[in-house]
Amino acid sequence: MATLIDQDFFAKLNALNDKFATSVLDTVARLKDMRGRFDPSAPDAALVGDLHQMLHTIAGSAATFGFRVLGQQARQLEQRLRVLMAFDAVSAADWENWMSGLDEYVAWAETNPKADQYISGELRHN
């Protein structure tokens, strides 16, 4: 016998989609705030960890809620950040290069986080 579709499940899924969509601009604002506190000449390890965690979370959940490109670009930034985190010493220029990619991402996400393509700068630092 076929299982009936659980309408309650879809209602809950739609509610989660709406909740994620309304949280995106707040998440982007938090990224922007963290970026503003980031000192490339002496990066705070806790702040770097928070940035990594936030990008990881966006990358892991965005596509589920219809923000595929937002998640893909977050994943690229997260992976680049993970590489920087692996080194004992990273130059301020390397941090600034990474932050430039973060700035482009934030500017793009503030404009249209659900866009199906990344336009502003296209994260040249892959």
Q: How confident is the model at residue 124 (pLDDT cuts 50, 70, 90)?
A: very low
| CB contact burial 42-71 (16+ within 10 A = b; e otherwise) | ebeeeebeebbebbbebbeebeebebebbb
- Which amino acid, residue 1? M
pLDDT over threshold 80, residue 2: no
Cα dihedral sign for 30, 20, 59, 100?
A: negative
Q: How confident is the model at residue 68 (pLDDT cuts 50, 70, 90)?
A: very high
Phi, psi angles (nearest 5°) of residue 109: -65, -30
Q: How confident is the model at residue 51 (pLDDT cuts 50, 70, 90)?
A: very high
116 part of a folded domain:
no
Mean pLDDT of the chain: 89
| pLDDT tens sequence across 80-91 | 999 999 999 999
- How far apart, in whole angstroms, are the C-alpha atoms of residue 94 and residue 114? 29
61 part of a folded domain:
yes
- Which amino acid, residue 34? M
82 part of a folded domain:
yes
6 part of a folded domain:
no
pTM, two decimal places: 0.84
Q: How confident is the model at residue 120 (pLDDT cuts 50, 70, 90)?
A: low
Tell me the CB-side half-sphere exposure of residue 11, using CA atoms within 13 A: 3
State how many domains the chain has: 1
Structural domain including 90 reads: 24-111
125 part of a folded domain:
no
